[in-house]
Amino acid sequence: MIYTMQGLENDHPIREMLFNLLPTEIPERADIAPEGADALGVVVEQAGAENRIRVCCVRGGKQICAEKRAPISDDAEQTKRVRTHALKSAIFEAVVPFLDTAPEWGSLTGVRPAKFARSFMEQGYTPAQVAKLMTETYHVSAARRALAIRSAGVAMDLKEKIRDNDISIYIGIPFCPSRCSYCSFVSHSIEKAGKLMEAYLDTLCGEIAHTGEILKQAGLRIVTIYIGGGTPTTLSAEQMDRLLRTVHQAFDLHALEEFTVEAGRPDTITREKLTVLKKYGVDRISINPQSMNDAVLEGIGRHHSAQDVLDRYQTAREVGFSAINMDTIAGLDGDTPESFARTIDMLLELNPENITVHTLAAKRGADQHDRAHNAQKQDDVRQMLEIASQKLTAAGYVPYYLYRQKFMAGGFENVGWCKIGYECKYNVYMMEELQTIVSLGAGGVTKLLGSDGRKIRRISNPKYPYEYNVSLQRINAGKQEILNWAQSSTALPD
Ligand code: SF4
């Protein structure tokens, strides 16, 4: 789709909305649209105390236009935010009449819809008022706004209980037994990168020990720990024992409320490893089937069967885990609404405390062909998500957190469902940006939350294990910033 722009520069939101509405087309900017071509024309002009926005979409010789006004205030950030939302909304109204189905998240393109809903609820809007706003101004469907508002409520309840010096810890293990075809994470198959693992563990233990000192000096309380990846259980039982022993030696865990390890791939789980996790107080694990259809599992490169999932789940219960999450993905190649429904039924029969329903997202850097392939699945994905929602609700699960990624089939979302009382606090803190998260390991991004609850300062570790393994001194030196932040009463400068 060609687009033209006059007046204020707004390239990013225009491209973002066009990707959202027309995922199979590449947005191309032009000075003038060729005669008769399908195109979007955008004009944003300042007129007195407001910005005036006019968007016209031409497709197949027909033109539809939409106009919006956005007030200008003394706060430049607020002015830009209001203008951007108005612009996206105008693009939505001009383009959607040409589509078979409107995206369910309307003109919202952000990754945190619950945070968006919460921002209004914290200003005093009632849930009914937020629902009205999301429908009338942002064109969000009833099902999606219900998800956002419920998750916002969970986040508000948890936020009330957070103390000033509470933090969470994330530890990354970026190794997997093999690469799954759909995966966008930075993770390495042990076949290719297994030789880096021992040095990785050495570096990670060094970073944990140093961070423990800093956190004690700073007087910070660790309330949740999440070990993710990758697949942490790619580590052997001995390596896992060493990692968790180091965690216990380095950190003061007297205030710890939740300790999660993603066991992830069933082909890495053994009774021995689960026993090590239990010994060190891990109280929540994930066993992630993604699908319970063997043909789908094979197609996506997972080296395990549905039966392996059932067996490992049984072992985890025998070892004594009473909070288990299971991940699924809607939209995998070879899956259908019917076989996806069978996956959900099989998981419900197991009765885990959490089920997370993801929507397939095209990989970062995916080409137009992949994105188009994904977009074509949107009707199936919509059905799959409806099936999941109905079955999970009927079985007593409730949605408690959600997030979106770029290039998801149908522009949908990932939703964490749980039995009441089994919300994973870390997931909510992290996704809703409610609390400082100190992240360790390759690719870890520490997010220090400002005292206003909004400004976030990031400290990034090297992304790949081969860089991380030779950077311990630099990484540890960077931790001083955590101390500075804590000592300056968590106030971040502008
Ligand atoms: S196991 Fe998880 S992190 Fe590893 S490749 Fe598969 S999806 Fe990615």
Cβ(125) – ligand 1 distance below 6 Å:
no
Q: Are residues 274 and 180 in the same domain?
A: yes
Calculate what percentage of the chain has a pLDDT beyond 90. Answer: 80
Q: Are residues 105 and 74 in the same domain?
A: no
Domain contains 448: no
Q: What is the pLDDT of residues 76-108, one digit of tens each?
A: 988 998 999 999 999 999 999 999 889 999 999
Q: Residue 367: its pLDDT value, please?
A: 64
Q: Are residues 307 and 275 in the same domain?
A: yes
- Beta bridge mates, 52: 45, 69
| Distance from the alpha carbon of residue 304 to the mean position of ligand 1, in angstroms | 13
Q: Burial code of 321-341, b = ≥16 C-beta within 10 A, e = fewer?
A: bebbbbbbbbbbeebebebbb
Q: Residue 492: its pLDDT value, please?
A: 46
Domain contains 85: yes
Cβ(358) – ligand 1 distance below 6 Å:
no
Of 41-55, 213-227, 353-367, the one with minimum mean pLDDT is 353-367
Domain stops at, among 120, 135, 154: 154
Domain stops at, among 438, 455, 478: 438
* 451 or 174, greater pLDDT: 174
Q: Is the dihedral of CA 468, 472, 478, 480 positive or negative?
A: positive
Q: Are residues 370 and 268 in the same domain?
A: yes
Q: Are residues 89 and 148 in the same domain?
A: no
Cβ(230) – ligand 1 distance below 6 Å:
yes
Q: Are residues 68 and 201 in the same domain?
A: no
* Six token digits for residue 409: 């089939």
Give the single-character DSSP code of 78: H
Mapped onto helix, strand or coil, the DSSP state of residue 364 is: coil
| Distance from the alpha carbon of residue 183 to the mean position of ligand 1, in angstroms | 6
* 405 or 208, greater pLDDT: 208
Q: Residue 377: its pLDDT value, please?
A: 85
Average pLDDT, stretch 39-48?
94
Q: Shortest CA distance to 42 belongs to which of 73, 15, 24, 72?
A: 15
Cβ(233) – ligand 1 distance below 6 Å:
no
Average pLDDT, stretch 407-434?
94
Q: Which of 61-66's residues contact partners 24+ apart within 8 Å by CB, and which partners? A: 61/36, 62/98, 64/93, 64/94, 64/95, 64/97, 64/98, 65/94, 66/90, 66/91, 66/92, 66/93, 66/94
pLDDT bucket at 494, cuts 50 / 70 / 90: very low
* 444 or 452, greater pLDDT: 444
Cβ(177) – ligand 1 distance below 6 Å:
no
pLDDT at 53 over 80: yes
> Quick one: which atom of ligand 1 is closest to the CA of 176?
4
Q: What is the pLDDT of residues 170-221, one digit of tens each?
A: 999 999 998 888 888 888 888 888 899 999 999 999 999 999 999 999 999 9
Q: Residue 373: its pLDDT value, please?
A: 73
Domain contains 465: no
Domain contains 270: yes
Q: Are residues 84 and 119 in the same domain?
A: no
Q: Are residues 112 and 186 in the same domain?
A: no
Q: Residue 491: its pLDDT value, please?
A: 45
250, 206 in Cβ contact below 8 A?
no
Q: What is the pLDDT of residues 406-418, one digit of tens each?
A: 878 788 999 999 9
User: Ligand 1: which residue has its CA nearest to atom 6?
Assistant: 180
Q: Residue 249: its pLDDT value, please?
A: 98
Q: Residue 358: its pLDDT value, please?
A: 96
Largest CA distance in the chain: 71
Q: What is the CATH number of the domain that holds 51?
A: 3.30.160.100
Q: Residue 185: its pLDDT value, please?
A: 82
User: For the chain, how many structural domains are there in total?
Assistant: 3
Q: Residue 365: its pLDDT value, please?
A: 62
Average pLDDT, stretch 359-370?
74
Q: Are residues 231 and 352 in the same domain?
A: yes
Q: If you average pLDDT over every residue of the chain, what do you get?
A: 93
Q: What is the pLDDT of residues 320-343, one digit of tens each?
A: 999 999 999 999 999 999 999 999
Q: Residue 368: its pLDDT value, please?
A: 64
* Six token digits for residue 59: 């497709």
Calculate what percentage of the chain has a pLDDT beyond 70. Answer: 98
pLDDT at 143 over 70: yes
Domain contains 453: no
pLDDT at 10 over 90: no
Domain contains 19: yes
| Domain span at 47 | 1-99
Domain contains 468: no
Residue 226: burial class (beta carbons within 10 Å; 0-12, 13-18, 19+)? buried
Cα 398 to Cα 416: distance, rounded to the nearest angstrom? 8
Cβ(180) – ligand 1 distance below 6 Å:
yes
Which of 227, 231, 234, 296 has most ligand 1 atoms within 8 Å of CB, for mutation? 231
Q: Are residues 359 and 212 in the same domain?
A: yes
Q: Are residues 296 and 333 in the same domain?
A: yes
Q: Are residues 111 and 65 in the same domain?
A: no
Q: Which of 11-25, 116-130, 440-454 has the highest mean pLDDT?
A: 116-130
Domain contains 462: no
Domain stops at, among 154, 169, 199: 154
pLDDT at 366 over 70: no
Cβ(465) – ligand 1 distance below 6 Å:
no
Cβ(264) – ligand 1 distance below 6 Å:
yes
Q: What is the CATH number of the domain that holds 345?
A: 3.80.30.20
Average pLDDT, stretch 465-480?
96
Which of 173, 175, 176 has most ligand 1 atoms within 8 Å of CB, for mutation? 176
pLDDT bucket at 307, cuts 50 / 70 / 90: very high
